[in-house]
Amino acid sequence: MFKGLSNIGSLLKTAQQVGGQMHQMSEKLRQRRVTGSAGGGMVEIEVNGLMEVLGCRIDPTLVEQGDRELLEDLVATAVNQAIQAGKQLHAEAMKDLTGGIELPGLHDAMAKFMNPEGEGPGELEDDEEPKNV
């Protein structure tokens, strides 16, 4: 009847270790920086490995042109490029954490751990449409 209790203790210890490693990974990703750019570098967006936007730089000559539509397109392109680079940082960190082993559901669990409030960018399923809020 009590045989399983020793296994539970071992499982809890392992879970605590993994939780600590995930927290460390989250902090490392928060410190890592990547940049997305568009328009030959006229628009640059900086994000960290948690996909938090840290900065936006727009060349003043682009603003002076007064082409709002072009500026909006370039900002969107640069943001998407920066987010893609941030996702790559995240994927590399996950690979390091798991030793290169693909664990089903770990990516989703990490996404929830890194962003427990459900705020910020998320990934859409292939058949899901973006929602305007």
Question: 49-59 pLDDT, tens per residue?
Answer: 888 999 999 99
Nearest CA to 21 among 120, 109, 81, 84?
109
Beta pairing, strands 53-58 & 43-48: antiparallel
Q: What is the pLDDT of residue 91?
A: 84
Q: 101 or 21, which is more confident?
A: 21
Q: How far is CA 7 from CA 11, 14, 20, 37, 41, in A?
A: 6, 11, 20, 51, 55
Strands 33-38 and 43-48: what pairing?
Answer: antiparallel
The predicted pLDDT at position 118 comes to 54
Q: How far apart are CA 85 and CA 101, in angstroms?
A: 21
- The two structure tokens encoding residue 46: 């900086």
Residue of 24, 77, 85 whose CA lies nearest to 51 = 85
Which domains are assigned to the chain? 28-104 (3.30.1310.10)
Neighbour tally for 118: CB within 10 Å: 8
More confident residue, 124 or 100: 100
34-47 pLDDT tens trace: 999 999 999 999 99
pLDDT range class, residue 121, cuts 50, 70, 90: very low
Query: Lowest mean pLDDT: which of 78-82, 85-89, 117-121?
Result: 117-121
Using DSSP's 3-state secondary structure scheme, residue 106 falls into helix
